[in-house]
């Protein structure tokens, strides 16, 4: 199947493409499709925002569209930055500013109170109006500083509880590497987006057969 990946975030596009193509699908970016929409994300949940984006880009392209809305939810901050993760510091997509604000907000939080989770809602919208939404989570903690280069957003600050292994299983993250220190395979097996996409792939045959 050919999917439109409804994101202008190159990090998300890379992950969506890697996961979907590994499952045998073809992924077209918004740039490849010549689409420049910027739908307003007015939802109060990740699922609502994912649906808004999937619907808008599905109508614009006429293709089955996959949209993700995701973010970091920190227990000590009552779930913030949550759905505002990408614009936490005020400017959408300013990773450096967002990370600085999060570190400032967490500066007095001790190590045992820094629990957090990445959440991803993925919505598949078909041109005939059918839709399927799945979610995935990855629990972990917020680090005291940024480490790693293989990631985007809050990846350098997020330490997942587990890491993926070559056989697809997981193991405790005893070395406490950040998301941005993991190789692609190590991250895909435990990531919030990877788990959501796995659920999407599992549900896809029955959904398309309806």
CB 125 within 8 A of CB 55: yes
Range of the domain at 136: 2-208
In tens, the pLDDT along 113-168 reads 999 999 999 999 999 999 999 999 999 999 999 999 998 999 999 999 999 998 88
pLDDT at 1: 85
In tens, the pLDDT along 158-197 reads 999 999 998 889 999 999 999 999 998 898 889 998 899 8
pTM above 0.85, yes or no: yes
In tens, the pLDDT along 29-88 reads 999 999 988 898 899 999 999 999 999 999 999 999 999 999 999 999 999 999 999 999
pLDDT at 163: 95
Total domains present in the chain: 1
Q: Which member of 69, 95, 155, 188 is catalytic?
A: 69
Report the CATH number that the domain containing residue 147 is assigned in CATH: 3.90.950.10
- Specify whether 96 is catalytic: no
pLDDT at 210: 54
In sequence order, what DSSP letters do the residues of 111-177 get, joined into one string? GGG-EEEEEEEEEEE-TTS-EEEEEEEEEEEE-SS---SS--TTGGGEEESEEE-TTS-EEE-TT--
pLDDT at 93: 86
Cα separation of 11 and 159, whole Å? 18
pLDDT at 209: 78
């Amino acid at each position: 199947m050919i999917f439109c990946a409804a994101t202008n975030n190159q990090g998300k596009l890379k992950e969506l493409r890697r996961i979907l193509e590994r499952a045998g699908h073809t992924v077209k970016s918004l740039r490849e499709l010549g689409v420049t929409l910027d739908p307003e994300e007015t939802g109060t949940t990740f699922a609502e925002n994912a649906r808004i984006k999937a619907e808008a880009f599905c109508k614009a392209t006429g293709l089955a569209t996959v949209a993700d809305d995701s973010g970091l939810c920190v227990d000590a901050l009552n779930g913030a930055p949550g759905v505002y993760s990408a614009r936490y510091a005020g400017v959408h997509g300013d990773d450096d500013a967002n990370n600085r604000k999060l570190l400032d907000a967490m500066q007095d939080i001790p190590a045992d109170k820094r629990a957090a989770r990445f959440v991803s809602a993925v919505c598949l919208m078909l041109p005939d109006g059918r839709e399927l939404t799945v979610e995935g989570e990855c629990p972990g903690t917020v680090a005291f500083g940024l480490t790693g280069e293989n990631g985007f957003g809050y990846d350098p600050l997020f330490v997942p509880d587990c890491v993926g292994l070559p056989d697809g299983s997981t193991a405790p993250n005893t070395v406490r590497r950040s998301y941005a220190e993991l190789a692609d395979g190590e991250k895909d097996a435990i990531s919030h987006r990877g788990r959501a996409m796995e659920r999407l792939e599992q549900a896809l045959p029955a959904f398309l057969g309806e």
